[in-house]
Structure 1
């Protein structure tokens, strides 16, 4: 049965599928033959070629190697995964990828660029979306900005509540806090914790991000429960930096923050001794 024809201009996913079929057929390979080379089923190849499934980065890298396409699909998959983000979030993700300095205050969850895959799955799975796998893959793709040749400086202030709010299992939280600790010796990623003892502070209205660029104006980004909002209004940006400076001043130092993260990781999410049933009356 002939697969449906794709319009390569319809979306990044359609373009990817169109090019995959074109390159596979040019190489004289069947779906099953290509699948055996890249360690997946021919059915999966067919679903990706018809835009019924979203490709992942490791799949794209294997296809490039199998078809000798000089990194074509590794480049395309970034566009495909970004297109899986909510439409209102895509402009921010694009700006985030261009920023030279990212500052964020987070009051509820760990900032997306520093999330582990399983923590991201727990966060994104709260509303139980049908496309959870694609959303998680898209979030992991965003984190490639930290591995660029010239990555941005990322400064994160987390409310202490973020460390204590369980997302997923104990293991998920332990791994997430351990991941935060892995940044403590990195020069371009800094994590501070705003302790409960700070009391009232400028971040009480909620999380916000500040992006700085080489030549373009700074941007403030906020979210509500429906969508995100970006602005380069000079007065708003100036107020945002003032609030952020106050939050950083009220937060624990980077070293003391790491100590608190380690403490919470062990005390709240560490290995728990098994309860002795004989001691129960």
Structure 2
């Protein structure tokens, strides 16, 4: 499997082959296994043929039934394959630059971001994250991307979380991703995050028509002993650079953007008023 370890389709085939091998070694028909698991023989058949996505519960149920090594710790054979499928599915839909960026983001001591259209991934709730995904993608790919976004947010739970400053264009609050309830919950989360001692969330209102307000989205990462990194993404194009010229220019741009945005307290009040419009 080494050559296919990053291909979710190949990994699903591998899952199906392992299921068939384990079932036949136990001298079980598809019907007998289906009865034991409380599903249909057709479901087992589809899993073995890799025509159905693998769910985490299915993997856990199979490990529990067959008592695979590590099953009692939720680290059995089938669950390990499922986790590999999930990681591969997430990586396949990420921009190559973003994959590198994500690895660096985990180590950053500060994050500075300007968001021109959407709530930054580090601040998204699951419902909002799902709402911005391409719904034409298979459900398992969407789920993997949302899970990946939630995993990124663990940097705020580190013993020493990064200092973070986010500048949000007002359109981020006005665009009704997922509907009124999801947007109200999302803004509640923004306000809650803005009250953390290591996080600032500033709003750039529509009436401040300045060059910095119209320049688009970007993220700057800083480290204790390494050069800053700049990440920019637009549509299907993205790049990650440690160019001193580029990171310096973006640093100056960010300082100017912060100075033109509302203050922290003004931004919290602004976000709270925006939330009321979704009720």
Structure 1 gaps of 5+ residues are 1-6, 271-281
Shift of 1:110: 0.8
TM alignment of 1:175-186, pairs within 5 A = 175-186=185-196
Q: 1:221 aligns with which of 231, 237, 247?
A: 231
Shift of 1:144: 1.5
Q: Give the direction of change, closer, same or farther, for the CA distance of 1:254–1:130 in structure 2 (3 Å limit).
A: same
Report the TM-score when normalising by structure 2: 0.74
Shift of 1:44: 5.7
Shift of 1:233: 0.7
Structure 2 gaps of 5+ residues are none
Report the TM-score when normalising by structure 1: 0.73
Instruction: Identify the range of structure 1 (107-116 vs 13-22) with the bigger mean alpha-carbon deviation.
Output: 13-22
Rounded to whole Å, the distance in 2 between the matches of 1:214 and 1:194 is 29
Structure 1 position 116 matched with structure 2 position 125: yes
Q: CA RMSD in A?
A: 3.6
Structure 1 position 83 matched with structure 2 position 91: yes
Aligned residues: 261
Q: 1:94 maps to what in 2?
A: 103
**Higher helix share goes to which structure?**
2
Structure 1 position 161 matched with structure 2 position 171: yes
Residue deviations 1:76-112 (CA, integer Å, cap 9, x gap): 3662343242444433333334434322101111112
Shift of 1:170: 1.9
Rounded to whole Å, the distance in 2 between the matches of 1:40 and 1:246 is 59
Residue deviations 1:100-156 (CA, integer Å, cap 9, x gap): 43221011111122222332233223xx53335523431332222322552544322
Residue deviations 1:241-274 (CA, integer Å, cap 9, x gap): 11112212222233321221111111x211xxxx
Q: 2:14 maps to what in 1?
A: 18
Shift of 1:177: 1.4
Structure 2 contact 112–221 (Cα < 8 Å) conserved:
yes
